[in-house]
A = this chain, B = another copy of it.
Amino acid sequence: MEINQNIIVALAAIVGENNVFTDEATRIDYGHDETEDYNFPPHVVVKPGTTEEISEIMKLANKHKLPVVPIGGRTGLSGGALSISGGIGLSMERFAKILDIDTQNLQVTTEPGVITQVLKEAVAEHGLFYPVDPSSMGSCFIGGNIAENSGGARAVKYGVTKDYVLNLEVVLPTGEIIWTGANTLKNSTGYNLTQLMVGSEGTLGVVTKIVLKLLPQNSHNVLMLVPFYKAEQACEAVSAVFRAGIVPSALEFMERDALEWTMRFVEGVSVPLKDNIQAHLLIEVDGNYPDVLFQEAEKIMSVVEAFEIDEVLFADTDDQKNALWKMRRAVGEAVKSNSIYKEEDTVVPRYELPTLLKGVKDIGNKYGFQSVCYGHAGDGNLHINIVKGEMSDENWETEVPKGIVEIFELTVRLKGTLSGEHGIGYVQKNFMPLAFDVTQLNLMKGIKQLFDPNNILNPGKILPDNL
C-alpha cells in the first residue's frame, strides 16, 4: 500500500506533527547512508521519541503492510538503512539519552541514538571503557553498531559489539515490546535472543534500549607504525605477532595507496612514506603498566624485524598518536572521496591474509580493476576498495561484479566469509549464496518470517532476492 494522507495523519497522531516529514529535502536526506552513491528516500520520515510510539508505528505499519526502515547515523556501508521500498523511514535520532552509567556493575544502559564516541567519552569520565571503536564512531549511532555488529580497530583484543551487549529492549515488527535477556555477564536461559538481534541489521526488531558491559579503563598504550617493503610480508607479520604470545590492542594494515590517498585527500595527516614501501602495520599495545608495554613493544619489534621492514615510527606523544589514528580512520573516507567505488568487507582466519591479498590483486588484474586494501588485519578483516578511476562504465558494470564473486569465492575457500563488520544489507545480499547454501538461508528466512510475518521491517535486506 502507498503512504497516503490518512497514514500521515495517523503517524502524526502517534509522534506529533512536528516529527513527521514528507518534504523532498528531508526524504532525500534520510535516503542515504555511506554506501556507494545510493539514495532511496522513504515516503515519509518519522522521528519517534518513545518505545511506545515505535510500537504504535509498527502496529499501524502491519495493519497497512507498509515498509518501515530504522535509520541511525547513516554511516552504514552495506545499505542497511536505505528505504529501498520507500515506506516509513524511522529515524532513531531522538533516542539520544544515556540512561544509566552503572559504576557499581560496570554497565551502561543507553538509548540507541547516542553517537558511539559520545558514549565512549561519557563512560570514560567514570574511568570505564567501552572498547568498540568503528572508524565512523564520531557520527555513527550505538544502535547502528548493534544492527551491524560493528567492530573497529580494538576488536582484535577486546572483541566486537556482540561481545558487549548484555540485554536489549526491542520493539518487534508486530509491535510487542520485549527485553531479550538479562543484565548479566552470563546467561544460559533459553535461546539467545540477544545475540540473534545483534547483527540482524534492523530486520528483526527496532532496538530501543541497550545494556552494555564495560571494562575498567587502561591508563597507557604504545603505538608504532611499521613500514614493510612487501605488502604480503606485512600480512604475514600479523599472525606472527600473535604466535609470539602477544595480543595487541590494535593491529591495522594499510596498503601504500591507502596512505597516499589519505595524505592527498585529508588535511593535516602525514607520515614519512619512502618510495619502496608497499604497506604499513599500525600496532598498539595497551595496559596499566608502562614497563610491560615497552617489553611487549620490544617483542613485537623482534617479530617484525624478521621481515623486510624500514625504520619503525614510535608515537611519542598523545598528539602523534592522535595524528596516526586520525590518519587511519580517514583512510576509508579518502579512498571513497576520490572515485566511484565498491567496498568489500572480507574476513578470513588471520594467517590467510597474505593469500587473500595476493588473490585480490590477481583478480583485479584479471578483470582490469584497481583495489586499495586496508583494515583490521589482526582480525583477518580486510576492507577491499575497488575504485572505478578511469575504468569504463561498461566494464564497471560487467567485469567488476565477476571479480567480486571471485573475491568472495576465494574468501569462503579460505574459511572466511563475506562481511566482518559492515553487514550484508542491500548491496551484498545477492552474494549470500556464496557463503551459505539454501538450507542455512532458509533457516534465516524462517527466522525473519517468525519475527516479521508481514515482512514490513527493513524488507529486502540480508537475504538474496531469489530465495
What 0/1 readout, one digit per residue, does chain A (333-354) give for beta carbons within 8 Å of chain B? 0000000000001011111100
| A345 engages B444 (CB within 8 Å) | no
Q: Which residue of B lies closest to A201 (CB)?
A: B188
| A191 engages B347 (CB within 8 Å) | no
A26-34, A221-229, A323-331, A435-443 - the one binding chain B: A435-443
| B192 engages A195 (CB within 8 Å) | yes
| B182 engages A191 (CB within 8 Å) | no
| A188 engages B421 (CB within 8 Å) | yes
| B105 engages A350 (CB within 8 Å) | yes
Write out the residue numbers on chain B whose beta carbons fall within 8 Å of the beta carbon of A263. Answer: none
| A246 engages B439 (CB within 8 Å) | no
Q: Can you tell how many copies of this chain the complex includes?
A: 2
Chain A interface residue bracket vs B = 35 or more
Q: How many angstroms between the C-alpha atoms of A288 and B216 in the bound complex? A: 19
A269 at the B interface (CB under 8 A) = no
Q: How many angstroms between the C-alpha atoms of A447 and B239 in the bound complex? A: 38
A243 at the B interface (CB under 8 A) = yes
Write out the residue numbers on chain B whose beta carbons fall within 8 Å of the beta carbon of A389. Answer: none
| A423 engages B178 (CB within 8 Å) | no
A348 shortest CB reach to chain B, Å? 6
Q: A160-B186, A216-B246, A351-B105 are in contact. Are A199 and B193 (CB under 8 A)?
A: no
3 pairs of A and B residues whose beta carbons are closest in the complex: A195-B195, A182-B417, A104-B351
19 of the cross-chain contacts (CB-CB < 8 Å) are: A102-B351, A105-B239, A150-B188, A180-B440, A184-B349, A184-B416, A185-B381, A186-B420, A188-B345, A188-B421, A188-B424, A190-B424, A190-B463, A191-B196, A191-B200, A191-B444, A215-B247, A216-B246, A447-B447
